[in-house]
Structure 1
């Protein structure tokens, strides 16, 4: 899903998106139907990753999660999982393999996500599926390194 597609999805669901100047390390916030994205983010790729997670809050979370409670951390994790599943599906990984992508740097470029977001997604899938998962005629390995094997 591209940045413009995420914006269209948000707009369709009555979520306003603003680009504003942030102080500190935060790059995005969601509250009450409004997503704010730091306007100092230079690439649409990074904006897309931030926007996807903030949309994850809209679709999965309610209430204030700015504190450091266990519930807040759980809501953050749920929103991040939503973003991971929207931007990088298992089918995307097998498509990259079919197209000859062989390393994580090229994979991040191919999927148009940041290397950090790719790592978060692969870690999420590893927690969800374990060391590997079978998808159609492929086995996707998450350990010891990302790898894909086509079954005969």
Structure 2
């Protein structure tokens, strides 16, 4: 997933740099440049961070570092939502169900994302859709997470 995102970023004219950064900073975006903290150990976590920073590239404007401002928090949420939908579209929950994925750990592995990212994405979908949503002949329940297959 990380390699695919790196290629997509490059194709869009966004340069990616892995640099040592403070542990509290995982990634930054500014002017078609993304910095990923080199100390992040897993490619799945790097993919999640890169997806969010690409979300800023696609959805944000200006300096939004001051999260005490409501407009900046809205832009942060927009970038995170972009990342969730990029790495974890709802159709992938259905595909994971069809592939017999049995729990959240397996789902995170199946998607190539961190368990924290998965948890946050599910919470965001629950906020957006309510307790469940339907795609084709499948109902996705967010709490508890599950998929129901409907008959025609």
Structure 2 length-normalised TM: 0.96
Q: CA RMSD in A?
A: 0.8
- Is there any run of 5+ residues in structure 1 with no aligned partner, and where? none
Instruction: Name the SS for the 1:66 alignment partner.
Output: coil
What is the deviation of 1:8?
1.0
**Equivalences, count:** 150
What is the deviation of 1:111?
0.8
- Is there any run of 5+ residues in structure 2 with no aligned partner, and where? none
For 1:62 and 1:29, the matched residues in 2 are separated by 13
Instruction: Name the SS for the 1:30 alignment partner.
Output: strand
Matches within 5 A, 1:1-152: 2-68=1-67, 69-143=69-143, 145-152=144-151
Instruction: Name the SS for the 1:85 alignment partner.
Output: helix
What is the deviation of 1:4?
1.1
Structure 1 length-normalised TM: 0.96
For 2:71 and 2:91, the matched residues in 1 are separated by 31
For 1:5 and 1:110, the matched residues in 2 are separated by 16
What is the deviation of 1:42?
1.1
For 2:79 and 2:131, the matched residues in 1 are separated by 23
What is the deviation of 1:24?
3.7
For 1:14 and 1:124, the matched residues in 2 are separated by 29
